[in-house]
Amino acid sequence: MARTPITKQEFDANFALAAGFGNSNPIEFTSRIFDFEAIIEPCHRDLKFHDCEFNNNVKIESGFNIITVTNNLDQQHEIFDDTNTNIFDINIEFNTCSFNSNTQFDNLIFNGKFRIHNCTLEKVSFNNTSFNNLADFWSTTFKQKTIFYKTDFNKTSVFSMSTFEENVLFTYALFGDKAIFARTKLKKGIDLSQTIISGNLQLFDLQFNFKDYEAVYVGKDDETYRNYIDSDAIIPLENKVHTYQVLKKAFNDIGNYSDAILMRREEKKSLKELVKHKLKDKNQDVNKGDKWILNLNRWSNHHLSDFRNGIWFTLGVAIVFSVLTLVFTGAYLDNICFSDCEFNPNRLMNGIKFFINFLNPARKLDYLDDLKPAFGGISYIFDFLGRIAVGYGFYQTVQAFRKYK
């Protein structure tokens, strides 16, 4: 159905006092184009917008309270109180709509069900907004940076199939019940570090673009930090680390260990970047060994996410320490060849046996006695370090398989 323009007078007539009484049917708009600022005030009838296009601002704001009174004949009438209210007791639904300007849902309380399905929102704000019933943003695209600032989701909230093309921040927001993110597409970043989660996150096939998840280092500058998360929708690096921790726990809670390991990997990568910035910042105290620990975990199993790293790490350290152990023995020095060397299959087989034996951290120590350690027995030191490195490599390889448990 082709969309047709609607005038402001025609729009306002649907909310006139006389249009409300005695009619409980929803106020519906289908396939209409709004070129004026659409201001919606509280009313007693459900609102439905289907296949509409809003080319100007959309604002839901405070209006007059609707109350029910009873006369002597026990007949109920709805009248308007003269006090302003920001409470919506009705159900509101936007389906397949385009919001091409600014949309405001600020300082409101929704007691009815609130649905935005299959819509496109250019710019939207939810400041100090409370949803006391279902808040459903199924398959909706948020074009610009979005901040759910002090937004209370007291019942089920749904972000399934939604797309956030820029950063989305749940700053001091509350998830009091289930928050469902199923196949939610995050093309930039998400900040859950300041979110109060008294309910639980239900995550299914969360789609990240990790390379485009940008965050900035703030340090101890509180003013800059507040500006970033309160108005600029810029995610501080510390918040990025904590967000991955929140997601990791949520995946673990539902038994999705493979995605939990993925969140752990990204958490450690972000933590490594944070540590690097803190090392450069003279105002920050940081353990310098953290950087080496993070690097070691990345090399050995990519933060529990890839067993192949563990295999290559184990083989690599075994080669390095076995060679260092061997070259400081008399047997090696006595048989070293600098020129006119001939291939000796026995020497090759002995070398292979030595390497395989070295891969066993529990090997006996007397094998070195037969090789006649030189230079004060330094080969014993490399043998000891090799046992630790190889044992660590085996452990990290096994740990990487936990993602499949």
Number of domains, the chain: 3
Helix/strand/coil percent split, the chain, to 5: 40, 25, 35
Q: Are residues 213 and 333 in the same domain?
A: no
Per the structure, the complete domain to which residue 217 belongs is given by 132-286
Please check whether residue 295 lies inside any domain of the structure. no
Q: Are residues 373 and 252 in the same domain?
A: no
Q: Is residue 147 within 8 Å of residue 121, measured between CB atoms?
A: no
Enumerate residues 6+ apart whose C-beta is below 8 A from 234. Answer: 167, 215, 216, 228
List, run by run, the mean pLDDT of 10-residue segments along the chain (405 residues). Answer: 91 70 81 94 86 95 55 51 70 96 94 96 95 97 96 97 96 96 96 95 92 89 82 90 95 90 90 86 68 74 77 89 82 58 68 83 78 77 89 85 65
Q: Are residues 266 and 148 in the same domain?
A: yes
Which of 104, 124, 155 corresponds to the end of one domain? Answer: 104
Please check whether residue 115 lies inside any domain of the structure. no
Q: Is residue 251 within 8 Å of residue 203, measured between CB atoms?
A: yes
Please check whether residue 375 lies inside any domain of the structure. yes
Q: Are residues 136 and 281 in the same domain?
A: yes
Q: Are residues 33 and 160 in the same domain?
A: no
Degrees to nearest 5, angle at CA 30 with 111 and 104: 45
Q: Are residues 200 and 273 in the same domain?
A: yes
Give SS3 for 47: strand
Q: Are residues 365 and 272 in the same domain?
A: no
Which of 286, 321, 350 corresponds to the end of one domain? Answer: 286
Which of 104, 123, 154 corresponds to the end of one domain? Answer: 104
Please check whether residue 126 lies inside any domain of the structure. no
Please check whether residue 117 lies inside any domain of the structure. no
Q: Are residues 325 and 376 in the same domain?
A: yes
Q: Are residues 98 and 166 in the same domain?
A: no
Please check whether residue 228 lies inside any domain of the structure. yes
Please check whether residue 293 lies inside any domain of the structure. no
Please check whether residue 111 lies inside any domain of the structure. no
Q: Are residues 141 and 277 in the same domain?
A: yes
Beta pairing class for 163-164 and 185-186? parallel
Q: Are residues 140 and 192 in the same domain?
A: yes
**Neighbour order of strands in the sheet with 135-136:** 27-30, 47-50, 92-95, 114-117, 135-136, 157-158, 178-182, 200-204
Q: State residue 182's pLDDT score.
A: 95
Q: Please state, in angstroms and rounded to a whole number, the distance separating the CA atoms of residues 229 and 164.
A: 17
Q: Are residues 331 and 398 in the same domain?
A: yes
Whole-angstrom CA distances from 78 to 25, 44, 67 are 15, 9, 6
Q: State residue 405's pLDDT score.
A: 59
